[in-house]
Amino acid sequence: MKTIPTRFFTLAALAALVGMIWGIQMSASHDHMLSPAHGHLNLVGFVTMAIFGTYYALTPRAANSALAKVHFWLATAAAVVLAPGIAMAITERGEVVAQVGSLLAVVSMALFAFTVARYGVGTHAVVHKDG
């Protein structure tokens, strides 16, 4: 089984790769209409996933928690849903998918904030009895 940091970094690398290819496609076609969706893929898919992976690599106690698994799946859902949802909204095919993706991203970040507050950062983070 892959570790939580490895899962986050793998998803970050895949999002970056897709984002780069999408950027090249936009440049080659001279059509930058979907740039906001491309930017959100890079931010939510690459940057935040890499930050989450770094945190969990530095804080193994948090990485081994059930919260980390929930966080990974929430963050993954946000990354997978948000960028296509924004593309759909831009092309006037509805905003519901973008709204769902946005909510998933907010819940994922709230869970991350809770996790950091609960476990601290690093291998010498404060240990809670109930955690």
Q: What is the C-alpha separation between 131 and 64, in angstroms, rounded?
A: 11
Confirm whether 128 is domain-assigned. Answer: no
Confirm whether 124 is domain-assigned. Answer: no
With a cut of 60, say whether residue 131 has pLDDT above it. no
Confirm whether 129 is domain-assigned. Answer: no
Least confident of 18-22, 37-41, 85-89, 127-131: 127-131
Q: How does the average pLDDT of the chain come out, rounded?
A: 94
With a cut of 60, say whether residue 95 has pLDDT above it. yes
**Domain of residue 62, residue span:** 4-119
- Tokens representing 123 are 């291998």
- In this prediction, residue 123 carries a pLDDT of 86
Q: What is the pTM of this model?
A: 0.90
Count structural domains, the chain: 1
- In this prediction, residue 37 carries a pLDDT of 94
Residues in the chain: 131
- In this prediction, residue 2 carries a pLDDT of 85
Collapsing DSSP to helix, strand or coil, 5 comes out as helix
Confirm whether 126 is domain-assigned. Answer: no
Tens digit of pLDDT for each residue in 101-130?
999 999 999 999 999 999 999 987 655 555
CA atoms within 13 A on the CB side of 78: 26
Tens digit of pLDDT for each residue in 6-34?
999 999 999 999 999 999 999 999 999 99
Chain centre to alpha carbon of residue 107 = 11
